[in-house]
Amino acid sequence: MNVMKTRPIDEVYAANYAIRQKLLALIASAEPSNLNRLPVGEKWTVTNVVEHIGIVEASAFRVCRKLLGKAEADGKAGDGMITTSDLFAEKGKELFKIKVEAPAIVQPKCEMTIGEALERLVSNREDLMGLLRLFKSHNSSDYHFPHPFLGDLSAGEWLVLIGGHETRHIRQIDAILKKLQEKSPGHEEGV
């Protein structure tokens, strides 16, 4: 049986905000020259990872907007709560433990500067803040859109996923920066 968990939408927004602050603090603490350096064994630089986070977040925003739009059109009143399933939480924990290849559609183009990638994150969050009213006033839990690894997700689950995805990549960025700080000969390549 798939048990559902409800929580206030404001709580999810606050959690995603706190995660974003961790990301920004990590980037700010890095040597600027390390943001575009590629350590051996890695496919992306820190800047590439931040670009990827922005691409995924923008995509999740579009999904949330679409699902919330359906709930609004159907007059599904909400109470400021979102619902996530235990199955979503379980699959998310499994996904968090394994390395996966990002689908081509969300791979970074590797053409952005760190400033451009960070600007996109700011723009994305402004867009997501614009959805807060709809999340509070409409229940979109009956509407789903497929995720390539997690299956059909509601708008609330997509919103939670934004924070989980970013947390995953904070760990990746931290690992990249630690590799670059080793400064052993042959440990890095220029990009």
Whether 189 is covered by a domain: the verdict is no
Whether 162 is covered by a domain: the verdict is yes
Residue with tokens 């183009």: 109
Q: Digits of tens for pLDDT over the chain (191 positions)? A: 577 889 999 999 999 999 999 999 999 999 999 999 999 989 999 999 999 999 999 999 999 999 999 999 999 999 999 999 988 988 888 887 888 888 888 999 999 999 999 999 999 999 999 999 999 999 999 999 999 889 999 999 999 999 999 999 999 999 999 999 886 444 444 44
Whether 190 is covered by a domain: the verdict is no
Number of domains in the chain: 1
Domain assignment of residue 153, given as a range: 4-182
Whether 143 is covered by a domain: the verdict is yes
Whether 173 is covered by a domain: the verdict is yes
Whether 174 is covered by a domain: the verdict is yes
- Alpha-carbon distances of 73 from 56, 76, 160, 174, rounded to whole Å: 26, 8, 23, 43
- Specify the CATH number for the domain of residue 87: 1.20.120.450
Q: How far apart are CA 154 and CA 138, in angstroms?
A: 12
Whether 191 is covered by a domain: the verdict is no
- Alpha-carbon distances of 155 from 69, 93, 116, 140, 152, rounded to whole Å: 10, 19, 27, 6, 10
Question: Is the separation of the CB atoms in 67 and 155 below 8 Å?
Answer: yes
Whether 105 is covered by a domain: the verdict is yes
